[in-house]
A and B are shown apart, each in its own frame.
Chain A
Amino acid sequence: MPEARVIPLRQDGGRPRPRPAPRRASRPGIGSLTERTAAARGVDGDGGHSEEAMDAVAPTTGGELAALPAPKGPTELEARVAAVGEFLQRRLTGRYAVDDFGFDRDLTENVVMPLLRPLYDTWFRVETIGTENVPTSGGALLVANHSGTLPLDALMTTVATHDDLPVPRYLRMLAADLVFGLPGVGAAARKAGHTLACNADAEALLSAGELVGVWPEGFKGIGKDFADRYKLQRFGRGGFVSAALRTGVPIIPCSIVGAEEIYPKIADLGPIARLLGVPYFPITPTWPLLGPLGLVPLPSKWYIEFGEPIPTDSYDPSAADDPMLVFNLTDQVRENIQQTLYRLLAGRRNAFLG
């Protein structure tokens, strides 16, 4: 059956900032702004729109291109216009593939990632540590601390695993059912490859060899007061550990520093939250005081550290039914993340400058 050909808009390169990762060393690719503008302009129109988008951004990339030896055949710009055109054609004719979970690789690669990248690179200046701890292939369960009122930490981690690993990997996150009930958000989450936090889905993804991300603190973690920052909450009921045990995949503790400061939640309006059917309604220094401006996250400096994998394949799959073992492993992961957070915090002088 002929399937959609996925033609990456970005070649191997990515961002202007030099990174130790080998895959971006080869050639400077397309600036993220370029793609974002092109994609945003072109998505609702026909192919004709893309040329204006290209026209508008051409000067910004011109300097970068001038440094290269003159390319033969079609120029960079032409190739880029062609790539955007191909993308739009695929979208308009539905010639792309999604997996059973609704993960749309084409869209994630060409729209979602380019949208998140400026936030990742420029706004939060995320630094990743220990990328060698994430396996380059096979199932693995990434467990991280949750904070920041809105789940930007989760989104930034998806960029981290895609851009900063030696081999890009798509992080398939497990999210609360609240997400999938929200119009727009739920559909976008499915397309970006995320699914409902339940054992069936976690095990299905892990056995398929995917990198799965879980934030076991849930709403207790993301919605905690600013005063409680970097204090890990209870790690759910250990469901993530039993999923890892059943599938025998390693658990990778992931510690995120910086997300706590983006929206400092100083109070919670419970009645309004209940009215809206959300777990909390935060009051931050800027929200709702400044209206929509209050939604702009504070530009804290972020660190994402991937800890050493905790192997689970030495246990029997039936160990998942031993609650004591599950509790112990849960605690071990939690302790590991808490210690790493303290260490990272001790090394940080300023929340915004790093």
Chain B
Amino acid sequence: MPEAPSVVLVTGVSRFLGGHLAARLAADPSIERVLGVDTTPPSREMRRRMGRAEFVRVDIRNPLIGKVISTAKVDTVVHASLSGNPGQSGGRSMMMEMNVIGTMQLLAACQRSDTVRRLVVKSTSAVYGASKRDPATFTETTEPKAIPPGGYAKDAVEIEGYVRSFSRRRPDIPVTTLRFVNLIGPRIDTSFVRYFSLPVVPVVLGYDARVQLLHEEDAVAVLERAAAQDLPGVFNVGGAGVLMLSQAIRRAGRFPLPIPQPAVPLVGRFTRRARLVDFSPEQMRLLNFGRVVDTTKLRTEFGFTPRWTTVQAFDDFVAGRGLRPWIDPSRLGQAQDAAVAVARALPTGS
């Protein structure tokens, strides 16, 4: 029977999604306790925002997490710590450790627990990979044509595998797996956000990916809804519509810098060394082919329609970050007026 949660455990609270989710849950008086878990303490501003939510500094790779769950009698676990940003997670191998081993440990603790009765897992649409042989939109049942070779996407594929075997072993616990597309917004910090903030944005020569985005607020709202109700299943989560990569760069007022395919890894290494953007090879493939997910199931079965479309989310990001366009749109208008004036002056016109 669907019961409102009373003790909620949120992982990854020192990052945007986990922190804001903990804050939202803490603001709900029907929830008795909100426990936030992470290896690093959240920022002061985030802690203030989280209000009465308690922060427990514990590594989810440590069996201690099981103790936290049993002593606090946690009934709802929201695993929001899956990260695709190695810069924030202490490097690539550390990120993989945290993602995969952390999830295994957390799932093991949940399996032992007799109080947990709902599990929400944040996953990513990167599990679909990105290749030329993929259909235009992925539904939840689409098999990836090319299994992601490594990095974040492979972590996510493995995590989903563990989550599936968990639900086989504990069929009594409804599990919601949410496959998020790339998040964007004025406050969140992801590789994608940094990428669009570059003054000149590198793109792969001859490719123009379709980009689907989700607003940060929508992402938090989806997790909150999943934590509050029993909505088992796998759901794609993304805003409506798409932007072409080139179009997004133009909307942000940036200039694309086309790079031939063979030189892409080189440029990727450079931006990583220079601490500008850290894209894993699998995310680079996204820049070639893009990825769009079908969100019909989210809207009908899950009952959530993102408030921001992809375009609106991107525009909110551009406005919120105060990205100054290189070309002033009003100058373009003036250029056009000048052109029309010249045409009027021409004797051949009529």
Chain A residues near B (Cβ < 8 Å): 1, 46-48, 50-51, 54-55, 58-59, 62, 65, 70-71, 74-78, 80-82, 84-86, 88-89, 91-102, 104, 177, 180-187, 190-191, 195-196, 198, 200-201, 204
Contacts and interface: CB of A to CB of B under 8 A. Distances in A.
B210 A198 contact: no
A82 B340 contact: yes
Given A78-B344, A98-B210, A187-B208, A91 B250 contact: yes
Contacts of B348: 58-59, 62, 77
Nearest to B332: A89
B165 interface: no
A85 B336 contact: yes
B207 A186 contact: yes
A110 to B, nearest CB: 15
Contact of A75 (B241, B246, B249, B350): B350
Contact of B332 (A1, A54, A93, A100): A93
Given A46-B332, A54-B343, A187-B207, A195 B136 contact: yes
Given A78-B344, A93-B332, A201-B136, A183 B205 contact: yes
Contact of A47 (B139, B261, B339): B339
B324 to A, nearest CB: 14
A89 B329 contact: yes
Contacts of B290: 102
Interface string B65-76: 000000000000
Most chain A CB within 10 A, of B248, B251, B340, B342, is at B340
Nearest to A203: B135
Given A85-B336, A180-B132, A190-B208, A102 B350 contact: no
B171 interface: no
9 contacts: A77-B348, A92-B327, A93-B329, A99-B241, A104-B244, A183-B204, A183-B205, A196-B136, A201-B137
Nearest to B331: A46
B350 A65 contact: yes
Interface of B: 132-137, 139, 142, 204-208, 210, 241-244, 246-251, 253, 261, 289-290, 292, 309, 311-312, 325, 327, 329, 332-333, 335-336, 338-340, 342-344, 346, 348-350
B142 A200 contact: yes
B332 A98 contact: no
A187 B290 CA distance: 11
Most chain A CB within 10 A, of B204, B248, B250, is at B250
Contact of A102 (B134, B204, B242): B242
Contacts of A76: 349-350
A70 B139 contact: no
Given A82-B340, A93-B332, A201 B346 contact: no
A200 B246 CA distance: 26
Nearest to A185: B206
A44 B246 CA distance: 13
Given A48-B335, A200-B142, A100 B137 contact: yes
Contacts of A186: 132, 206-207
B242 to A, nearest CB: 6
A51 B342 contact: yes
Given A184-B206, A200-B135, A93 B340 contact: no
B349 A77 contact: yes
B340 A81 contact: yes
B250 A77 contact: no
A92 B339 contact: no
Contacts of A177: 132-133
Contact of A98 (B134, B242, B253, B335): B242
B339 A48 contact: yes
A2 to B, nearest CB: 10
A50 B309 contact: no
A185 B349 CA distance: 38
A187 B206 contact: yes
A59 B253 CA distance: 37
Contact of A94 (B135, B250, B346, B350): B250
Nearest to B312: A1
Contacts of A94: 243, 246-251
Contact of B250 (A50, A81, A84, A93): A93
B206 A89 contact: no
In the A-B complex, the 4 residue pairs with the smallest Cβ-Cβ separation, listed nearest first, are A183-B206, A47-B335, A85-B336, A94-B250
B333 A89 contact: yes
A200 B135 CA distance: 7
B139 A196 contact: no
A204 B293 CA distance: 13
Nearest to B343: A81
Contacts of B137: 100, 200-201, 204
B261 A183 contact: yes
A196 B208 contact: no
Contacts of A104: 244
Contacts of A58: 346, 348-349
Contact of B339 (A51, A180, A195): A51
